[in-house]
Amino acid sequence: MKNRKQAYHIETEKGLINDPNGLSYFKGKYYVFFQWNSNATDHSYKVWGKTTSQDLIHWSEPVIALQASESYDKDGTYSGSAVSDGETLSLYYTGNVKVNGVRYPEQCLAQSEDGIHFKKYGSVLSLPDDYTGHFRDPKVTKEDVWKMIIGGQNKKTGRGDIIQYTSIDGTSFKFNKIIGISKQYEMIECPDLFTLDAHEVLIYGLQSRNNDTDECLDAHAVYLIDTLSDLDKGLHMDEGYDFYAPQTFVDDQGRRIMLAWMSRFSDAQEVEFAKDGHIHCLTMPRELFVKKGKLIQSPVREMYELCHEIPYTNHMKIQRQAMIEISPLKHMSFSINKELSIHFDEGIRIERYDWAEQKYQKKSWPIKINHMEIWLDTSSVEIFANNGEFVYSARLDPQAEDLLLASSKESQNINVYRLEI
User: What's the rounded Cα separation, in Å, for the pair 337 and 322?
Assistant: 14
Distance, CA of 194 to CA of 140 (rounded, Å):
11
CA dihedral sign of residues 23, 175, 155, 186:
negative
Dihedral of CA 267/273/275/280: which sign? negative
In the set 19, 161, 238, 242, the catalytic residue is 19
Q: How far is CA 87 from the centre of its chain?
A: 27
Containing 302, the helix (H) or strand (E) segment is helix 301-304
Buried b / exposed e along 234-255 (16+ C-beta atoms within 10 A)? beebbbbbbbbbbbbbbbeeeb
Whether residue 19 lies in the annotated active site: yes
Q: What is the Cα–Cα distance from 162 to 180, expressed in whole angstroms? A: 5
Neighbours of 116 (CB within 10 A): 11
Length of the chain: 421
Name which of 21, 51, 24 is nearest 35 in CA terms. Answer: 21
For 370, phi then psi, to 5°, come to: -95, -30
**C-beta neighbour count of 367 within 10 angstroms:** 14
CB-based contact 15:39 (threshold 8 Å): yes
What's the Cα-to-Cα distance from 132 to each of 103, 104, 216, rounded to whole Å? 8, 8, 15
Q: How far is CA 101 from the centre of its chain?
A: 28
Helices (H), 158-243: none
| Closest among 82, 155, 75, 163 to 125, alpha carbons compared | 163
**3-state SS assignment for residue 348:** strand
Could you list the active site residues?
19
